[in-house]
Amino acid sequence: METSRRTVIAAAAAGLTAATVGTAHAAGGKKPVRELFGRLADGTKVHRWSLENGGTRLGVLSYGGIVQSLEIPDRHGRYRNVSLGFGDLDSYVASSPYFGALIGRYGNRIGKGQFTLDGKSHQLSVNDGVNSLHGGAKGFDKRVWDVEGFTSGSDVGLVLHHTSIDGEMGYPGTLRAKVTYTLTRHGDWRIDYAATTDRATVVNLTSHVYWNLAGEGSGSIYDHELEIAASRYTPVDSGLIPTGELAKVAGTPFDFRRTKTVGRDIRVAHQQLLYGKGIDHNWVLDKGITARPEHIATLRDPSSGRTLSIATTEPGLQFYSGNFLDGTLVGTGGHVYRQGDALCLETQHFPDSPNHPSFPSTVLRPGQTYRTSTVHSFGT
């Protein structure tokens, strides 16, 4: 049975388990600390912010809002960084497959980078074959965000701002994005996304952390156990664009309604797994869009006991099994990343929604505020 961080903190506060959980669990966060991480080619400074609360340690870059490290304890209180990344800015700029980054304006693909809104067609930046992926060639992951640290009650956090100008990457409207990262006294990492626009546009923001709960660089995640509360998923074509069908997961490798290991069915000869070179699909969450974050997935590493539980307001979850990690990148701890060394669980609206009127809408109009929230809770 999973022990939540709340239980651990309560026990630690009572002095019951100090020997096993160490001293780092004391509730009450420290003020976020900023240091210089590097400079872009044009001299722009990039900072790294360190946050700690409720037993979770987070390192965030102003470049891309990137989670550069996320450290949590195992069942013996031993900390590991469970998020893939790099130790230096140049590596992020040169060749990051979105490690830890904020994704915008549009998480995942838009077919041929085209959509029509209010009778007007738009051509986006195309950066994935003929399609537009994660906002185009220079998405939110490659922008330097304005970042401020805060403490509020028992929470600590960062507020990140980025203004994307009208026409950037082909998207209509000036989009003002605000993302709040909060570490709660329970060690939960919460993300609140907000955005406004001055012209009708589409928006779908998410976070691209690559999880390995045994520690980044420690090997494959195929033994991780995963549960996803979704009875349907969106099958794709060979370019990973949804066909529009909401297919049942029952009887397919995509059925994670009951906990199973990530690797159990990953080599089943299913056409959809061939298209994705593994799992690279959007799950249609049973709960749909909700006003408050609701539980949708649990990931567990049996070796360390670490668990990640995700709750979101969003209707979709992109589960990507790290298929394109190909042994060419050396990560934060000095190890080579290979296929299946991490997985992403990106809460979102469905890929290519602007071209599928039957999918939940991603349209944002002037006067409206886009708001979504996702909470990551950790335990052992």
Candidate residues 57, 346, 349, 354; the one interacting with ligand BGC per rule CB under 6 A: 346
> Using CA atoms, how far apart are residues 204 and 339, in angstroms rounded to an integer?
27
CB of 135 to ligand BGC, least distance (A): 11
Candidate residues 239, 324, 327, 368; the one interacting with ligand BGC per rule CB under 6 A: 324
Query: Which H or E element spans position 275?
Result: helix 271-276
Query: Which H or E element spans position 109?
Result: strand 109-110
Establish whether 162 is an annotated binding residue: no
> Using CA atoms, how far apart are residues 315 and 377, in angstroms rounded to an integer?
19
Establish whether 210 is an annotated binding residue: yes
> Using CA atoms, how far apart are residues 158 and 215, in angstroms rounded to an integer?
24
Candidate residues 53, 132, 318, 353; the one interacting with ligand BGC per rule CB under 6 A: 318
> Using CA atoms, how far apart are residues 357 and 240, in angstroms rounded to an integer?
18
Contact 125, 150 (CB under 8 A): no
Give the Cβ contact number of residue 128 at 10 Å: 17
Catalytic residue status for 270: no
Residue 108 in contact with ligand BGC, rule: CB under 6 A? yes
CB of 350 to ligand BGC, least distance (A): 12
Candidate residues 214, 240, 241, 308; the one interacting with ligand BGC per rule CB under 6 A: 240
Q: Which is nearer to ligand BGC, 226 or 344 (CB)?
A: 344
CB of 360 to ligand BGC, least distance (A): 18
Q: Which is nearer to ligand BGC, 183 or 342 (CB)?
A: 342
The DSSP output letter for 355 is G
> 11: helix, coil or strand?
helix
Establish whether 208 is an annotated binding residue: yes
| Full strand arrangement of the beta sheet holding 232-234 | 210-211, 343-348, 316-320, 280-284, 232-234, 247-248
- Closest residue to bound ligand BGC by CB: 97
Establish whether 109 is an annotated binding residue: yes
| Burial grade of 223 (CB within 10 A; 0-12, 13-18, 19 or more) | middle
Phi and psi at residue 111, in whole multiples of 5°? -55, 130
Q: Residue 236: which residues within 8 A CB-CB, separation 6 or more?
A: 242, 243, 272, 275, 276, 280, 281, 351
Q: 35 to 74, contacts with ligand BGC by CB under 6 A? A: none
Q: Which is nearer to ligand BGC, 98 or 145 (CB)?
A: 98
Q: Which is nearer to ligand BGC, 280 or 352 (CB)?
A: 280
Establish whether 108 is an annotated binding residue: yes
Where does this chain touch ligand BGC (CB under 6 A) — which range of 33-41, 180-188, 194-202, 317-325? Answer: 317-325
β-bridge mates for residue 16, sequence order: none
Query: Alpha carbon 307 to chain centroid distance?
Result: 16
CB of 139 to ligand BGC, least distance (A): 11
Catalytic residue status for 346: yes
Strands 336-337 and 329-330: antiparallel
Residue 211 in contact with ligand BGC, rule: CB under 6 A? no
Q: 72 to 101, contacts with ligand BGC by CB under 6 A? A: 97-98
Binding residues for beta-D-galactose: 108-109, 208-210, 280
Which amino acids are annotated catalytic?
A: 208, 346
Residue ranges of the binding site: 108-109, 208-210, 280
Residues that bind ligand BGC (CB under 6 A): 97-98, 108, 240, 280, 318, 320, 324, 344, 346
